Amino acid sequence: MEIKLNELTRENKRMKKLVKKQIMCVMTIACLVLAFCLCPMQKTEARDWGEDYPYGEHEILKFNGKNATWNLRKRDNALEWYYSIQTGTQSDTWKNVKLTTGDPYVVETFAEESRDAKNRTNVSLNLEPTNPGKTTVTLSFKNRGKNYKYKFKVIVRNYENPFERLKIGNKNIKSQYEDGAIDHGGDDREYNESASLKLEKGTHKMDIRMRKNWKLISVKNGKTDLTKSKKVKVDGKYTYLTLIVQNEKTGERLSYYVEIVAVAKSNTSNTVLRLNKSNISMYVTGFAKITATCNKNSQKITWLSSNSKVATVKNGVVTAKKAGTAVITASCNGVKKTCRITVKEDWYNKVLKSTSSYRVKYLNGKTTTIYRSRFNRYRLYDINKDGIKELLLYNDYEENALFTFYNGKVTPLIYGTLRGIYVKGKYLIVQEGSSMSSTYYVHVIEKGKLKLICKLFETTSSIVAVPGYSVNGKKCSRAIFIKSSDKYLKNMKSLRW
């Protein structure tokens, strides 16, 4: 019995050792499985992309087989998108990394590997958009003996300023968003070059107008929503606005930032500025004087035209340049007053509708008085190509009267019973004479006056035994006359219909 107990004890010890070995084996396997699960095995998934902030003017690039879009700056086609993947401590984790482009004209690519201080392999993937267009980018690599290959479409397009007008107070800052970089900023893309402006302390209205296909989502000052009121209160040293807009076609959103710097109010409360006119109607080449009075005699009055192509202003004197409208603004100590200018070019209606008389010269320099009622026909023609049409009045009896408009006044140029009145280029040719001979007076119009350039004479009848010719009063041969005649008279056109 005692022997059996000893044998049983030895058997129990043997079983305990076997169980211990089995337990140790299971624990070892479990540790290996756990270590294998916890070991970093890199995969390029959607969540790997966009966690770092890319830079350059583009949308968020998500490496998930879907489209990725950049906005290419108009002023700089050399933009770079950079992404770095850290692969872990194993030297053989990533191998044969290649990033290729289907069209280098649209986007250029390259990949490079490096090691950090901890002997970790870093793979840098670089995308450089070059021109607007579409292409496909392919990433291939070997990871733990397995080959991976991913493709995705890339669209590179020009950046578009979504604002048609962005005015805060009296400052239009739309132009500050014409160019610049856009960075990844969460769900929206952020315009990382904030617009800035200075405004006086107080409440200012906002005038925000969007371009076609864009809409304004919100305007906020911190947590305060200003979308409906479109008013911003400037009280502290700095005020920051966030504007979120959306493209209605693509659905993309952009966030724009505005920094407002508060400045002290100018002392304009006691300034009184007055203009003697608020509306002026003028004709081209005309002048008008606007008188401004300011109770702050020590302050200078400044003048500005909203459209200098239509009207210019200097010290209150307005000069009409071309037909259209312009607003003249006078400023004194921060106070502004305006005068609307309307410039017309139909000055000739003053003559056509007139019942007044006009003093006008003959070719010989003598002066006579004429009335509009003596003429039943007229023609308009810009003879000297200065933008002002001359007016020719004539009748069936070969009476002619030519007018121009200079320095804001109707200016008669010439009158007479003429055989013809012609134009060639900038020259005005007046013909006098009879069936026997003709004299041609060649003029140009300068500063509202006729200037004689050349006088040509020729006999025109075969009855005259010896034909006569002269240039500027001097007799000449027919050859010399023809030379001058060709210059001034050849292919001339009649002003009379």
| Domain co-membership, 360 together with 454 | yes
- Does the residue 22 lie in any domain? no
Position 334 scores a pLDDT of 81
- Does the residue 403 lie in any domain? yes
Indicate the residue among 241, 263, 285 that finishes a domain. Answer: 263
8 A C-beta contact, residue 415 and residue 370 = yes
Residue range 289-321, pLDDT digits in tens: 999 998 877 678 999 999 999 999 999 999 988
Across 31-40, 126-135, 186-195, least confident range: 31-40
Indicate the residue among 218, 241, 263 that finishes a domain. Answer: 263
Position 160 scores a pLDDT of 74
Position 200 scores a pLDDT of 85
Q: What is the mean pLDDT of residues 197-218?
A: 90
Question: Can you tell me whether residue 131 is helix, strand or coil?
Answer: coil
| Domain co-membership, 410 together with 336 | no
Q: Are strands 188-191 and 195-200 parallel, antiparallel or unpaired?
A: unpaired
Token code pair at residue 184: 């990844």
8 A C-beta contact, residue 271 and residue 374 = no
Position 395 scores a pLDDT of 92
Of 74, 46, 70, the C-alpha closest to 59 is 70
Percent of the chain with pLDDT over 70: 71
Task: Tell me the chain's radius of gyration from C-alpha atoms.
Answer: 44
| Domain co-membership, 453 together with 393 | yes
Residue range 102-153, pLDDT digits in tens: 888 877 777 766 666 666 666 666 777 777 778 888 877 776 677 877 776 7
CATH number at residue 332: 2.60.40.1080
Position 267 scores a pLDDT of 60
Indicate the residue among 322, 344, 366 that finishes a domain. Answer: 344
Position 10 scores a pLDDT of 58
- Does the residue 88 lie in any domain? yes
Task: Provide the domain limits for residue 336.
Answer: 273-344
Position 26 scores a pLDDT of 45
**Distance in angstroms (rounded) separating the CA atoms of residues 223 and 200:** 22
- Does the residue 138 lie in any domain? yes
In the chain, % helix, strand, coil (3-state, to 5) comes to 10, 50, 35
Sorting pLDDT into bands at 50, 70 and 90, what band is 344? confident
Q: What is the mean pLDDT of residues 435-448?
A: 91
Question: Buried (b) or exposed (e) across 380-395, using 16+ Cβ within 10 A?
Answer: eeebbeeebbbbbbbe
Position 443 scores a pLDDT of 95
Q: How many domains does the chain have?
A: 4
| Domain co-membership, 380 together with 481 | yes
**Distance in angstroms (rounded) separating the CA atoms of residues 378 and 220:** 65
Q: What is the mean pLDDT of residues 92-101?
A: 71
Q: What is the mean pLDDT of residues 445-460?
A: 92
| Domain co-membership, 50 together with 154 | yes
| Domain co-membership, 52 together with 149 | yes
Position 115 scores a pLDDT of 65
The CA distances from residue 395 to 256, 277, 411, in Å, are 69, 42, 20
| Domain co-membership, 285 together with 259 | no
| Domain co-membership, 241 together with 299 | no
| Domain co-membership, 233 together with 169 | yes
Position 387 scores a pLDDT of 81
Q: Are strands 107-115 and 121-129 parallel, antiparallel or unpaired?
A: antiparallel
Sorting pLDDT into bands at 50, 70 and 90, what band is 333? confident
Residue 158 reports pLDDT greater than 70? no
| Domain co-membership, 421 together with 480 | yes
Position 94 scores a pLDDT of 58
Token code pair at residue 410: 């109707």
CATH number at residue 247: 2.60.40
**Distance in angstroms (rounded) separating the CA atoms of residues 259 and 240:** 5
- Does the residue 1 lie in any domain? no
**Distance in angstroms (rounded) separating the CA atoms of residues 371 and 21:** 133
Sorting pLDDT into bands at 50, 70 and 90, what band is 21? low
Sorting pLDDT into bands at 50, 70 and 90, what band is 253? confident
Mean residue pLDDT across the chain: 76
- Does the residue 27 lie in any domain? no
Q: For the chain, first and last CA: distance in Å?
A: 153
Residue 20 reports pLDDT greater than 60? no
| Domain co-membership, 482 together with 395 | yes
Residue 207 reports pLDDT greater than 90? yes
Residue range 60-87, pLDDT digits in tens: 333 333 334 433 333 333 333 333 444 4
| Domain co-membership, 153 together with 280 | no
Percent of the chain with pLDDT over 90: 35
- Does the residue 365 lie in any domain? yes
- DSSP letter (8 states) at residue 425: T
Position 193 scores a pLDDT of 53
- Does the residue 13 lie in any domain? no
3-state secondary structure 10-60: HHHHHHHHHHHHHHHHHHHHHHHHHHHHHCCCCCCCHHHCCCCCCCCCECC
Per-range mean pLDDT, top range of 24-33, 172-181, 378-387: 378-387
